[in-house]
Amino acid sequence: MRMYDILKNKREGGVLEYDEIKFFIDGYVTGEIPDYQAAAFLMAAFLRGLTMEETVMLTQCMKESGDIIDLTSIPGTKVDKHSTGGVGDKTSIVLAPLVAAAGIPVAKMSGRGLGHTGGTIDKLESIPGFRAELGTAEFIDAVIRTGVAITGQTGNIAPGDKKLYALRDVTATVDSIPLIASSIMSKKLAAGADCILLDVKVGSGAFMKNIEEAVELANTMVYIGNSSGRSTMAIISDMSQPLGNAVGNALEVREAIDTIKGEGPEDFSMLCRELGAVMLMLGKKAEDLEQGRQMIEHLVSSGRAAEKFREFVMVQGGNPKVLEKPEEILPRSKKQLEITAKTSGYITGLDAEKVGAAAMMLGAGRAKKEDAVDPAVGIVVEKKLGDAVEKGERIAVLHVNRTENLERAVRLTERAVSISERAQNKPELIRRIIK
């Protein structure tokens, strides 16, 4: 078998066999296939497309290129959740202990933030003492003991995807739904859960800007998961504005704590309830969405979810007092700067991508992988789409530690906000549910 023949076949619109895709992925991981041939494969796949079956096979080959986490020693049906990324998206911090409190084990691998989107691991590490990098045995033991653990991705999970992902970034082949779906699902399948819930974001702050692309991506990933023997569902949720109010690591943890106590922002609390209800369905604890919603409400109102959060934080080395005293335990910025309305009217635009980029400029995120993150800084948005506002009224607060890039962050935050005389309908938070 020759890589030349595989490339020629795909260039001419042919359909690849499993053995051909495996030959490519295995050879690329070992270094036998060079970057220039891998780049040619990506461009051919980008231009000619991949069939659904080719996409499933590519996913399987990337999954099998490295370690596969064995969770069979953990009793029960393990449910995982993945978000395609957004601004202010701290749902995993709430959902993991919340679903675990219902008796469903959650063994979750999460990533760090890059660009305008935040990362769950960075957020959790703003809790003093919290250890987010666990070895596999320690990770599994934590789930057996408490029902929940969140760790960073190990270095050898889907290395085929890791190499291809880096190459896609420099070869203009990122915007391919088969390549995006196989990248995400290869890591999810290797993480070992029995069931997978996908939160596919759509809007200005999401990778998928329109609903048609989001639906196609969700359908593709659900098909991959179900074809691979994992019960998989997807929710398409709005990311035209930041989720909740807080954008920034410690700020988002504090909002997550409020939410798990039943005191969080309306939109974020609703999304957690809906995602949690689907996870309970996947884990066979709820027969339908309505029963799942009721169970989630009870877990929050009874305090069981908050207690599981405390246990989760403590087992991973974090200070459990963060549940009662987040304002004392979590890092805080040195100063705050208000953004006020230039005119009276209604909020008709709150660009999530601009808000996320502004928070990154303050130090809440990374422009490059090697950048350091300041856990204390970020932005709290106090007005959302559809809200009335008076001239001079506060719209957002920037939490600041350094003046570098501050003027740019202020201008970008101001540009994110549009105010009009007439109110518009608030965006629908849950756009689709896909099975």
Digitized pLDDT (tens) for each residue of the chain, 435 residues in all: 899 999 999 999 999 999 999 999 999 999 999 999 999 999 999 999 999 999 999 999 999 999 999 999 999 999 999 999 889 999 999 999 999 999 999 999 998 776 677 789 999 999 999 999 999 999 999 999 999 999 997 768 999 999 999 899 889 998 899 999 999 999 999 999 999 999 999 998 888 999 999 999 999 999 999 999 999 999 999 999 999 999 999 999 999 999 999 999 999 999 999 999 999 999 999 999 999 999 999 999 999 999 999 999 999 999 999 999 999 999 999 999 999 999 999 999 999 999 999 999 999 988 777 788 999 999 999 999 999 999 999 999 999 999 999 999 999 999 999 999 999 888 999 999 998
- Say whether 161 is catalytic: yes
Choose, from 80, 89, 122, 161, the residue flagged as catalytic: 161
Query: Strand pairing of 246-247 and 345-350?
Result: unpaired
Class of domain 331-420: alpha beta
237 is catalytic: no
Q: Which of 176, 183, 186, 237 is catalytic?
A: 183
As a whole number of Å, the CA-based R_g of the chain is 22
Catalytic residue check, 82: yes
Catalytic, out of 10, 78, 81, 82: 82
168 is catalytic: yes
What fold does the segment set 79-156+171-323 form as a domain? Pyrimidine Nucleoside Phosphorylase; Chain A, domain 2 (3.40.1030)
- All residues at 6 or more sequence positions from 253 whose CB lies less than 8 Å from its CB, including other chains: 90, 93, 123, 124, 126, 127, 322, 326, 330
Q: Which part of the chain has CATH 3.90.1170.30?
A: 331-420
User: Which one of 163, 168, 308, 366 is the catalytic residue?
Assistant: 168
On the 0-12 / 13-18 / 19+ scale of CB atoms within 10 A, 159 is middle
* Span(s) in the chain for CATH 1.20.970.10: 3-49
71: phi > 0 → left, psi -120 to 50 → alpha, else beta; which? alpha
Angle at which helices 52-63 and 211-227 cross, to 10°: 60
Within the chain, which residue ranges are assigned CATH 3.40.1030.10?
Answer: 79-156+171-323
Dihedral angle computed from the Cα positions of residues 241, 247, 251 and 252, in that order, rounded to the nearest 10 degrees: 70
Q: Report the C-alpha gap between 92 and 402 in whole angstroms.
A: 29
- pTM: predicted TM-score of the whole model, two decimal places: 0.93
Instruction: Please pick, among 187, 273, 310, 354, the residue that the annotation labels catalytic.
Output: 187
CA distance 68 to 221: 19
The CATH number of domain 3-49 is 1.20.970.10: yes
Query: Strands 148-152 and 106-110, how do they pair?
Result: parallel
- Environment class of 202 (CB within 10 Å of its CB; exposed 0-12, middle 13-18, buried 19+): buried
- To the query of whether residue 408 is one of the catalytic residues in this protein, the response is no
